Amino acid sequence: MRINGQVYNLGLDNRTSLLDALRDHVGLTGTKKGCDHGQCGACTVLIDGKRVLSCLSFAVMNEGREVTTVEGLASADDSLHPMQQAFIDNDAFQCGYCTPGQIMSAIGCISEGHAGSEDDIREYMSGNLCRCAAYPNIVAAILQARDEMRRA
């Protein structure tokens, strides 16, 4: 599969989740494991541009697909993606554990066209839990990034 634009040939046990493949076999630990059962959103990545939960997908099901993780967002010169910058500008995290999942999900939320209003953002970001309850600042960050991404 391609991960962040790079092709990986992985020989994995069929039982390996995409999340474990990314973290334990490819060494991309930015994607976090929260619940491992689809209940928290910490493991959110993009597959072929769509946000999904990597803990509920077997790696082998993603052969030939394009996976984007939080490590793949910054550009080659290390400048941050507008969503990453917006999270920093708006203080949209405390412990940071949910943050990679929030950022990937927020990018999906905007590209799906579900970030029209604050209510929409709250509804369509409900799959990402934050134990630190940084929710208001996360909404603010998404609004900022949405406007910048539209301009870009």
Partner 1 sequence: MRPFVFERPTNISAAVALVSSFADGRAPTQADVQFIAGGTNLADYMKLGVARPRRLVDLNDLSEPALRQIRISDGTIRFGALVRMGEAADRGDVKRHCPLLAESLKFAASAQIRNMASLAGNVLQRTRCEYFRETSWPCNKRVPGSGCAAMEGLNRQHAVLGTSDACIATYHGDFAQALIALDAVVDVEGRHGTRQIRFAKLHQLPGDTPDVETDLAADEVITAINVPFSEWSRRSRYLKIRDRESYAFALASAAVALDMDGDTVRQARIALGGVATVPWRARLAEEALVGKRLDQSAAETAADAAFAEAKPRRHNEFKVPLGKRTLVRALIETRDMKV
Ligand X SMILES: Cc1cc2nc3c(=O)[nH]c(=O)nc-3n(C[C@H](O)[C@H](O)[C@H](O)COP(=O)(O)OP(=O)(O)OC[C@H]3O[C@@H](n4cnc5c(N)ncnc54)[C@H](O)[C@@H]3O)c2cc1C
Residues at the contact surface with partner 1, assessed by CB under 8 A: 13-15, 17, 36-38, 41, 44, 50-53, 56-58, 60-61, 63, 105, 108-109, 112, 114, 122-128
Question: Considering only residues 36-55, where is the footprint of ligand FES by CB under 6 A?
Answer: 36, 38-43, 53, 55
CA gap 42, 16 in Å, rounded: 18
CA gap 138, 41 in Å, rounded: 14
Nearer to ligand FES by Cβ, of 32 and 81: the residue is 32
CA gap 124, 141 in Å, rounded: 15
Q: CB under 5 to 8 A by kind: which of partner 1, ligand X, ligand FES, none does 114 bind?
A: partner 1
> Contact region for ligand FES (CB under 6 A) — 6-14, 27-35, 63-71, 81-89?
27-35
Nearer to ligand FES by Cβ, of 6 and 44: the residue is 44
Q: Calculate ∠ Cα 78-118-135, nearest 5°.
A: 65
Contact assessment for residue 25 and residue 12, using Cβ atoms and an 8 Å cutoff: yes
